[in-house]
């Protein structure tokens, strides 16, 4: 029971993190972002540590459900793909941050 509650919390945090990235991205795609409009991404940057950890746990759980090969495990494929893309984006964000802090002084 406690494990399921923990997984529900991690899925919730991961979905909030994904929506905090997705919604400003859609706004910028439709209206164009210049200057202070990029402040809409600040919640995503603030949630990066918690969001990345929750997304990693959610991805692990989705992969475990896919491996069970039950009749409803197909529902976890889109989740696993979304979580993997988000984690690759977080890794790229951290790499860019390290690059700019180390080589642009």
Q: What is the pLDDT of residues 13-72, one digit of tens each?
A: 999 988 888 888 888 878 777 767 667 778 788 888 888 899 999 999 999 989 988 888
pTM: 0.79
Task: State the residue range of the domain holding 49.
Answer: 2-32+40-103
Work out how many domains the chain is built from and give that number: 1
- Report d(CA 7, CA 3) in Å as an integer: 6
Q: Would you state the pLDDT for residue 35?
A: 67
User: Tokens representing 57?
Assistant: 């746990």
Residues in the chain, total: 105
Do the Cβ atoms of 45 and 73 come closer than 8 Å?
no
Q: Would you state the pLDDT for residue 42?
A: 80
């Amino acid at each position: 029971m406690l494990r399921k509650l923990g997984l529900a919390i991690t899925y919730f945090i991961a979905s909030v993190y994904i929506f905090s990235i997705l919604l400003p991205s859609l706004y910028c795609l439709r209206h164009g972002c210049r200057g202070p409009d990029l402040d809409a991404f600040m919640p995503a940057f603030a949630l990066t540590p918690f969001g990345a950890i929750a997304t990693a746990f959610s991805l692990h759980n989705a992969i475990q459900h896919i491996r069970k090969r039950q009749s409803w495990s197909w529902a976890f494929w889109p989740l696993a793909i979304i979580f993997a893309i988000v984690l690759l984006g977080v890794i790229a964000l951290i790499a860019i941050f390290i690059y700019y802090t180390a080589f642009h002084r």
